[in-house]
Amino acid sequence: MSTRYSSQLQSSAISSITVSSSSSLHSTPHDDNTHMAPQSSPSPSFLMRLAMRVSRARWFIFLRRVFHYQNASRSDLGTNPFNSVTWMISELIALLVQITVITSTLALSKKERPVWPMRLWITGYNVGCLLNLMLLYGRYRQHDTSQGNGFSFGDIEQQERSREETRCSHLMNRCRTSLELFFAIWFVIGNVWVFDSRFGSFHYAPILHVLCISLLTWNALCYSFPFLLFLLLCCVVPLISSFLGYNMNIASSDKGASDDQISSLPSWKYKLIDETSDSAQANNDPECCICLAKYKEREEVRKLPCSHRFHLKCVDQWLRIISCCPLCKQDLPN
């Protein structure tokens, strides 16, 4: 060993007496030909904790609900996750940002003269955003009204209100479908007008051209959302789960609910009604999906926040083990 390192060893000999042999190895200087050991990769425990945090995150739980709602074979899947308040607030912010950017860009680009009526396409897109904003307000009002209703179905007034809500829901769905069809057609027209070399107008209207490309990119991401969600939950998550030995799809539901959470859920005694009745209860399943037994007269039934109903004893026992719906996996509110 060189004299330069021997002097350093002598100066540190006194302090190394009180240190264990393992720690003294780390504190001893190395020779010039000695290389530091490479840092170890993240431990499995760290990756496990990271996977647990991701699986318990609200955005991951929401994506699982969306995937189950869109791909499950059952027709009664509980509440639509896209009608939740959090998602509607996100839609509101996105629409307001788009409307503000489009309006300001149109005002700043008055002197531009594109070869093809690109300004017409942007104006039509802006009108569609305004209609979507009105539709979003109607969805919020409908959600607020449905949350404020009670859970008794024997009253005639309640039955009339249920029929009115059903008609409003069908009307909202038709308007939403029509608006989605308009945006799909407008998206195709925008691609033709912007990317066709015969109608190229970047040099004549650079601001409008950049705005059109930005809007088309945003719509392309929105249309590819189901495919990206499929890749995430059906390809990426299973690979990570098999590598770690930890099921991320049910990890957020491995904690039971408290007695206060369970008792706060609405419950009532079941009442047999005619299958031809227009009551909302006639559309529900006639049997409990936990015990697979049909509901009997005056049996206690409990309703979860996702609108699914089960026997009170069955679902209480389930919720004490896993605090989520047995069908749609929606977690109970804290």
Domain harbouring 306, CATH code = 3.30.40.10
| Same domain membership, residue 180 and residue 100 | yes
140 and 266 share a domain? no
Question: What is the C-alpha separation between 147 and 131, in angstroms, rounded?
Answer: 24
Do the domain assignments include residue 235?
no
Residue 244 confidence (pLDDT): 81
The conformation of residue 83, written as its DSSP 8-state character, comes to G
Q: How many structural domains is the chain composed of?
A: 2
Which pLDDT score, from 0 to 100, does residue 75 have?
A: 43
Q: Which residues pair with 309 in a beta bridge?
A: 303
Type of residue numbered 268: W
Same structural domain for residues 112 and 195?
yes
Query: pLDDT averaged over consecutive 10-residue blocks of the chain (334 residues)?
Result: 42 40 40 45 69 81 81 58 85 94 90 80 94 90 65 57 75 88 93 74 81 93 92 89 76 64 85 52 65 85 87 87 78 73
**14 in a structural domain:** no
- Together in a domain, 197 and 145: yes
Taking Cα atoms as reference points, which of 249, 266, 280, 306 lies closest to residue 80? 306
> Pick from 182, 205, 223: which residue ends a domain?
223
Looking at the fold, whether 101 and 180 belong to one and the same domain comes out as yes
Q: Give the domain extent around 118.
A: 79-223
Of 205, 223, 241, the position where a domain reaches its end is 223
- Tell me phi and psi for residue 102, to 5 degrees: -65, -45
Q: Is residue 263 part of a domain?
A: yes
Judge if 93 and 185 occupy the same domain. yes
Tell me: do 85 and 187 sit in the same domain. yes
Is residue 143 located within the same domain as residue 209? Answer: yes
Predicted pLDDT of residue 285: 61
Same domain, 218 and 259: no
The answer to whether residue 191 sits within a structural domain is: yes
Query: Do residue 200 and residue 259 come from a single domain?
Result: no
Structural domain contains residue 259: yes
End-to-end, the C-alpha distance of the chain in Å comes to 65
Is residue 253 within 8 Å of 324, Cβ to Cβ? yes
Cβ atoms within 10 Å of 184's Cβ, excluding its own? 12
